[in-house]
Structure 1
Amino acid sequence: MKRRVSIRFFAGLGLLLLLLAGLNLAFPLPHPPQYSPIVTAADGSVLHAFLNPTQKWRMKTELREITPALRTAIVAKEDRWFYYHLGVNPLAIVKAAGRNVFGQGRTTGASTITMQVARLLEPKERTLGNKLLEMLRAVQLEAHYSKDEILQLYLNLVPYGGNVEGVKSAALLYFQQPPDYLSLAQTVTLAIIPNRPRGLVLGKNNAAVLQERNRWLRRFGEQGLFTKQDIEDALLEPLDVQRHAAPTLAPHLARRLVRQLPHEAIVASTLNRSKQAKAEDLTRNYVRRLHELGISNAAVLVINNRTRAVEAYVGSADFQDAFNQGQVDGIQAVRSPGSTLKPFLYALAMDRGLLTPKLVLPDVPTNFGGYQPENFDKHCNGEVTLERALAHSLNIPAVRVLSEMGVPTFTDKLREADFQSVTQNRTQLGLSSILGGCGASLEELTNLYVTLANSGKYAPLRWTRSSPSTRPSAKNLAPKGTALVSDASAFLVTDILSQLTRPDLPINYQSSMRLPKVAWKTGTSYGRRDAWSIGYNREYTIGVWVGNFSGQGAPALTGADVATPLLFDLFNTIAYNSPNDWFQPPASLDFRLVCAETGLLPGEHCPNQIIDYFLPGTSSTQRCQHQKEVLVSADGQYAYCRACAPATGFRRELYPNMLPEVLAYKETQGIPYHRLPPHNPGCQLVRGGTERAPSITSPLANTEYVLNRHEKQQLLLSCAADNEVRQVYWYVNDRFLRAASASERVFFQPPPGPLKISCADDHGRNTDIQVTVTEM
């Protein structure tokens, strides 16, 4: 007997499954509803919402947002037996049929919540045939979804008048709160409107809505669904509501994330709502004050150093400002980075043993194979330490370091840091890349400074809470990532960038109590088209760009004058409670004594010594030779080489051992120095070759010069020669032109065509270059 029952049971179950399978084949499940894409902040609040493809506000209500009060009110009002039937309530159908046939009571369709979901998913004309299809669809939905999922679908589809659908859309647009933050009175208000969305319009029929809300509250109280006190409090709550605009914070990032994740109804960003709002307000108000200077826009990026999460994203000063192209995203726009890459260059050079903070670098006019950079202020300093070169953002020392290290070494590291424009231009970058000759975005630059703040370790930025770069851990720290520079060089750069004795400190900030404790670097692109200021402390890195999206420059547009004040305001406003702890020297750093004149290890003639950081096993161990011992005649008129020195009658004396270009600079600027006397004229030994040969600084090698024949324009000949050189000899196309002193500027009128220009010194050393002259 039991066996027969079991067989019948399983046969019935199989038949039911076959019927469901046939139903699915005959009537495939409808497509899920098209939601309004929304972008949420890190706390789950909605930052930005978009209309769905059918131009409706239908924001997805998540299961966690369906509160017990909302669930109770909806089920009690719409379908008391929701959790007990299989999509169709037979008793309700019988009662509804009796009422409709005999005209007793209110006419009803006996629709369950599941049947309403079926109708909302596939709206049809209300006929008996469509009602039967609706019932079949309800049974099908019950077979595929749980009760909670069906209730969720219902709450996402119910109408609230106009183009507003779903509880979450109504809660945000009318009460400016998500569903799980609503009071009982507000919850019941949203529960009663779907049956009369045209008669009970919030903001228009508030009196009628209030009356209906209170009627249902009393009814729920009589049914014992809520406590007496909760009902009394809800009845006393006023209903003063109107429709509000959808949230529109972070419009640039919202559009970016929605484009990247087109199938996500809810994109959970890492933005901090408070910081985002403050950053937008600060940027908008700051740019308004710059309009009279011909500056119309700015962009700001705030990154949490520990998690690599983007906490504020301001793509422009005003997204709605069409006249100034406010919809352009300044975070992603590729622009000239100016001097903002210098800290990274110096960190790389220190890791290769080329530099230490006290190392002295030449800052004089220099020809780097045809490229002659200038400092921002058009002045040179002769010789400067690395820390001064970085703090004062000098261009010539930076180009010299890049030339010595090699452009490929530098650009390969930028590619590791995901600099897209550098990656795409593998063969077109030269020495000018350190002065803004390569394109970069604020996003790329800011993350590079996050790398410095994180001991030289690079990792991608986190834009959403589900970013692949997120790694769960107890401290919620970002992955260690790739070490682009060492922790030692990152600290040394940070130490220099946090100094306050520098020219790019904004006016009046020297004595300001509002000066934040940050390390920062400014940058200004050629033509004053882009102003940058990027700073960091232990907690945050903030990047600021100021300029015009049209690319038009402005006289006042410099990083120090217009970008850094906004940077400091941002730190003082959104990072005011950052811990006061500062970066500490890593164990991989050590101290040593160096010569104060050069920053190298003290040599034989280095009486003045200072302390400097260095990287053990990496930093150069070259000894200082800033002075050299020279044999001179007793009267000091001539110098001797070892070959021509007499047996007696000479003395030993120390003379500065400087680079030829530094000597040439001192000569042209009239800077006094201990000059080497001319070589013994009786010496018969001629020292040829190109070692320490004169360096031709003008004209530039491999350059075409276009001259006006009617104006009889001339070319300038100049060189940088060694300390002991007194006279040089100029040749054009191997024909002698004239002799001149080593520092003299010679002008001549060249013939058209290719020219070979040669310069020989009085020690027999020679340099040749090629140029082309064209007449017009």
Structure 2
Amino acid sequence: MRVRKPLFATLVLVVAVYGWARWGPMAPLFVVPRSTMLLDRDGGTLAASVARDGQWRMPPGDSIPARFAQCLIAFEDRHFRSHHGVHLPSLVRAAQQNRKAGRVVSGGSTITMQVARMARGDRPRTLWNKLAEVLLALRLETRLDKAEILALYTANAPFGGNVVGLEAAAWRWYGQPPDQLGWAECATLAVLPNAPARIHPGRARDQLLHKRNRLLGHLRDTGVLDSLTCALARSEPLPDKPLPLPRHAPHLLATLEQRGQRGQRIHSTIDASLQRRVQAIAERHARTLRANEVHNLAVLVLDTRSSEVLAYIGNPDPADIGNAGAVDIVQARRSTGSLLKPFLYADMLQCGELMPDQLVADLPTHYSGFAPRNFEERFEGAVPASAALARSLNVPAVRALHQHGIERTLRTLRNMGMRSLDRSADHYGLSLIVGGGECTLWELTGAYASLVRIALQEDPAPVHPPLAVRPPPVRNTGPQQPPLSAAAVYHTILALQDLNRPEMETGWRHFASTQRIAWKTGTSFGHRDGWAIGVTPGYTVGVWTGNADGEGRPGLTGTLAAAPMLFDIFATLPTTADLDPPHDELEAMAVCGRSGLRASADCSPVDTLRIIRAAIRTAPCTYHRRVLVNADGTEILPPGANGQWTNWFSLPPAMEYYYAPAHPEYKPLPKGRLGIDEQPMNMIYPEQGAQVLIPLQFDGTYTRIVLHAAHRDPQASINWDLDGTFIGRTTGDHKLPADPATGTHRLTLTDQLGRTLITHFQCTRGTAGRANGSIAP
């Protein structure tokens, strides 16, 4: 009985100690800052950042290379697989060696004990600390398997300088991941934690080399290596100096760190091969841009269907601190230039406010002091809406926004993912469509990719932002009503694929003929930002160029600075199939061949085209009229006269004034008696109901406005009357300076035949006018 009680007590104590060791609370072993690693879509390392404490200490990996494990166990703990954390013969041998030497020359620690020592921090090598390491090692052996213990060692062992852990050591000393290390490299790193300072030149490197070669010899003697492999491994030199880690997509890494992923192993969607190609293209173009004092650029390449980020260039040279090289321009808000125009075009199409190719006015336009101008500084009178979009004409875009509404347009843009447009409609005004708003390359490129996904009709939720990390964030994958219809987007894509671009852009025709790319450029006011975004069903590429500090430069336009890079990048991408028409959203419709409007009874020629069904709500063509003319078509005859009826294409006088000189095929109406409803005059400026802002000049006087009208008869004379007072007469070119006071005015024009045109407008005198909106395509 006396024997049983001590035995029972001992058993209870052993069980209690084991239970405490196995399941008792234990603080995390290594609470230390970690480096952040950015991996590509295949798991390769793209970039890494140093931990907050200045150490290269990577997040723990999920595997240990077999070669390194063999080298480590052979050098540090040959009984690792069989002991339970402590190897007593090794401890006894170490105690004897230390007693003979009179100092600590051997610790006798197993790998598990070394993990315990590293976990407890840098402490003196005393008997009590050794006992604590033994106890912690025993606890680790009860909780973890051997592979987990090896993983703790390889992730936290010192490898010289500020290098901690095998993965950091493999990159810093050999410039490659651990699983690609050879036998000599694994052997070097296996012996290095035993004396990490010896990796540096001048610090007994010959002793490190001797240890490595002795380990390789042991591996040969135990049959792990053959003689030839051992000899080759021994002939390899030690590394000379630390190597830089890969620096691909460093700005994406920094951005993800700022968003809470510091110290993690981030699995991205980046295609490493494409990233390197795009990086080389960006660096080549950056050298050219620097010659014009343009120091920054950014590139984003997406897989259109998945919206996954394939390449990410936040700036060409992160080390260029003087020119904000560390700034991630992909995420920076910049003036959008003309990049929002396609979304307005598509929105008007789906609302039945526009036909794809209908003629729209390109005339001098003023809205409360805002006077947009085209980049070419000329007006064409009338231009097809699709051509106005492809050529990025500002005046038709501003007039379209005025018609469609700023608030409606903002709602569509935000629903397409452009959340940076977070100000009110009053804040942006009509300048929104020509660069008055700011957005990021990230959002804009994502929105263009969403356009194509809408047209493809494959994704039930086609509008979503770019995806840069895996696994992607959880999003609603149920059916989604996109903000734009597939048919509206299809017509928009066709317009952006049009090769009839301004002369400065025709250099891209030879490339565009090999791949159907829908592309758009944009330039902000003052030449501060140059954009180019291109889309195909396979890829979406966004490019921004400029200076991070906002300094404008001559020649900094989307066409000259960004588009060449865009097409160089597309040249490295596989060609993809073109978009298929969304047949279920298109309808055959009779379209006037001259005006692009729905054909009326008087239109000729008439084309039958399959276009968006909402176009049925647009008004029919009013530019054709049936007139009776003489035999040679030079005079309009009164009804009943001997002549021939013809369908004549005739634009309103204001459009005709600008349109006719640029279109020799256009024939103005012949002279003769017109119908009583015919108005031969149009006001070009100010238009009916206009609000005119008259700015104050530097000398304290107010500028005079120039009234401008057009008359269908080039020889007509017009009498001008302002508020009942005769102010002048014009013949031929009908422009007349005037100095109207603040308030509402009535302007009456009377031609030589007594026909009149009345225009009401309002004048306001201010301190300065708004920007004129002359922005490059």
Q: Is the TM-score greater than 0.5?
A: yes
Map 1:632-711 → 2, pairs under 5 A: 658-659=651-652, 661-663=654-656, 665=658, 673-674=668-669, 696-697=685-686, 701-706=691-696
Correspondence for 1:466: 471
Larger relative contact order (CA 8 Å, sep ≥ 6): 2
1:16 aligns with 2:17: yes
Determine the structure 2 residue equivalent to 1:770.
Answer: 762
User: How many angstroms apart in 2 are the aligned matches of 1:203 and 1:700?
Assistant: 83
Aligned to 1:475: none
Q: How does 1:534-683 map to 2 (within 5 A)?
A: 534-573=533-572, 575=573, 578-588=574-584, 589-616=586-613, 619-620=616-617, 622-629=619-626, 658-659=651-652, 661-663=654-656, 665=658, 673-674=668-669
Indicate conservation of the 8 Å contact 1:360/1:386, yes or no.
Answer: yes
Partner of 1:747: 737
In the TM superposition, what is the alpha-carbon distance from 1:275 to its structure 2 partner?
Answer: 1.8
Is the CA contact (8 Å cut-off) linking 1:664 and 1:743 kept in structure 2? Answer: no
Query: Are the equivalent residues in 1 in contact too, given 2:686–2:761 (CA < 8 A)?
Result: no
Equivalent positions of 1:63-212 (< 5 A) are: 63-64=62-63, 66-101=64-99, 107-121=105-119, 122-201=121-200, 208-212=207-211
Tell me, in whole angstroms, the C-alpha distance in 1 between the residues paired with 2:424 and 2:341: 20
Q: Which of 701, 706, 713 does residue 716 from structure 1 map onto?
A: 706
- The question of whether the paired residues in 1 share the 8 Å contact of 2:380 and 2:662 is answered with no
For 1:678-731, what per-residue CA distance to the aligned partner results, in whole angstroms no more than 9, with x for missing partners? 779xx9xxx99x9x9957527951524326889896432234689999787655
What is the CA distance between 1:744 and its match in structure 2?
2.2
2:521 maps to 522
How far off is 1:650 after superposition? 12
Task: Calculate percent identity across the aligned residue pairs.
Answer: 30
Note if contact 1:357-1:613 (Cα within 8 Å) is conserved in structure 2: no
- C-alpha contact (below 8 Å) 2:22/2:143 kept by paired residues: no
Counterparts of 1:265 and 1:123, CA distance in 2: 25
Equivalents in 1 of 2:7, 2:730: separation in Å? Answer: 117
Distance of aligned partners of 1:388 and 1:724 in 2 relative to their CA distance in 1, 3 Å threshold: same
* Counterpart residue type for residue 518 of structure 2: A
C-alpha distance after superposition, 1:27-73 (max 9, x if no partner) = 74444332222222222222222221221111234122x02222222
Letter of the structure 1 residue corresponding to residue 747 of structure 2: S
**1:611, CA displacement in angstroms?**
4.5
Quote the offset at 1:494 in angstroms.
2.2
1:480 Cα offset (Å):
8.0
Cα shift at 1:773 = 4.2
SS of residue in 2 equivalent to 1:389: helix
Letter in 1 for 2:74: A
Checking the alignment, whether the CA contact within 8 Å between 2:286 and 2:297 is kept in structure 1 is: yes
Task: State the partner residue of 2:773.
Answer: none
Give the AA of the match of 2:580.
Answer: Q
The residue number in structure 2 matching 1:308 is 307
Which amino acid in 2 is paired with 1:309? Answer: E
**Structure 2 unmatched runs, 5+:** 456-461, 769-777
Counterpart in the other structure of 1:289: 288
Q: Structure 1 771/190 Cα, relative in aligned 2: closer, same or farther at 3 Å?
A: same
* Distance in 2 separating the partners of 1:405 and 1:486: 17
- Counterpart of 2:335 in structure 1 is 336
SS of equivalent to 1:120? helix
Cα gap change, 1:675 to 1:367, in 2 (>3 Å): farther
Does structure 1 conserve the Cα–Cα contact (< 8 Å) formed by 2:331 and 2:440?
yes
The answer to which of 439-448 and 660-669 deviates more is 660-669
CA contact (8 A) 1:63 1:148 kept: no
d(CA) in 2 for partners of 1:308 and 1:49?
24
SS, match of residue 247 in structure 1: coil
CA distance in 1, matches of 2:409, 2:715: 36
Cα distance between partner residues in 1 of 2:407 and 2:767? 37
- Check conservation: 1:69, 1:184, Cα contact below 8 A: yes
C-alpha separation in 1, matches of 2:532 and 2:699: 47
In 1, the alpha carbon distance for the partners of 2:540 and 2:641 equals 68
Residues 694 and 10 of structure 1: CA distance in aligned 2, closer, same or farther (over 3 Å)? farther
Residue matched to 1:453:
452
- Listed as ranges, the gaps of 5+ residues in structure 1 are 472-477
Task: From 747, 753, 763, give the equivalent of 1:758.
Answer: 747
Report the Cα offset of residue 674 of structure 1: 0.7
Please give the alpha-carbon distance, in whole angstroms, between the structure 1 residues aligned to 2:239 and 2:305.
42
Match of 1:359 in 2: 358
User: Distance in 2 between the 1:765 and 1:102 partners?
Assistant: 117
Work out whether residues 78 and 113 of structure 1, in 8 Å CA contact, stay in contact via their aligned partners in 2: yes
Partners of 2:296 and 2:315 within 8 A in 1: yes
Q: What TM-score comes out, normalization by structure 2 length? A: 0.84
Say if 1:424 and 1:74 are closer, same or farther in 2 by CA, change over 3 A: farther
The residue number in structure 1 matching 2:47 is 48
- In the other structure, the counterpart of 1:405 is 404
| Cα distance in structure 2, aligned partners of 1:176 and 1:426 | 53
Residues 96 and 354 (structure 1), Cα distance of their counterparts in 2 relative to 1, 3 Å cut: same
Q: Does 1:533 align with 2:532?
A: yes
Q: State the SS of the aligned residue for 1:745.
A: strand
The C-alpha deviation readout for 1:534-575, integer Å capped at 9, x for no partner, is: 1122321111112222322222222222211111112223x1
Q: How far apart, CA to CA, are the structure 1 residues paired with 2:658 and 2:505?
A: 31
Q: 1:559/1:404 Cα in 2 relative to 1: closer, same or farther (>3 Å)?
A: same
Q: CA deviation at 1:336?
A: 1.6
* Kept in 2: contact 1:707–1:773 (CA 8 A): no
Distance 2:198 2:474 in 1: 50
Q: CA-to-partner distance for each residue in 1:111-133, whole Å, 9 max, x for gaps?
A: 12222112112221111122222
The worse-fitting range, judged by mean Cα deviation, of 234-243 and 706-715 is: 706-715
Aligned-partner Cα distance in 2 for 1:711–1:265: 65
Q: Which shifted more, 369-378 or 170-179? A: 369-378
Relative to structure 1, is the Cα distance of residues 33 and 89 closer, same or farther in structure 2, using a 3 angstrom cutoff? farther
Within 2, Cα distance between the matches of 1:22 and 1:601? 80
1:413-454 deviation line (CA, Å, top 9, x unaligned): 111233233124454122221111111221122112212332
Distance 1:234 1:491, change over 3 A: farther
2 CA distance for matches of 1:775 and 1:521? Answer: 36
SS at match of 2:568: helix
Do 1:356 and 1:613's aligned partners in 2 also have CA atoms closer than 8 Å? no
SS in 1 for 2:707: strand
Alpha-carbon distance in 2 for matches of 1:630, 1:583: 43
Quick check: 1:448–1:458 contact (8 Å CA) kept in 2? yes
Where 1:605 maps in the other structure, the secondary structure is coil
CA contact (8 A) 1:461 1:469 kept: no
Superposed displacement of residue 8, structure 1: 8.1
Q: Which stretch has the larger CA shift, 539-548 or 581-590? A: 581-590
For 1:427 and 1:480, the matched residues in 2 are separated by: 34
| Separation in structure 1 between the aligned mates of residue 620 and residue 563 of structure 2, nearest angstrom | 40
Cα distance in 1, alignment partners of residues 361 and 520 from structure 2: 22
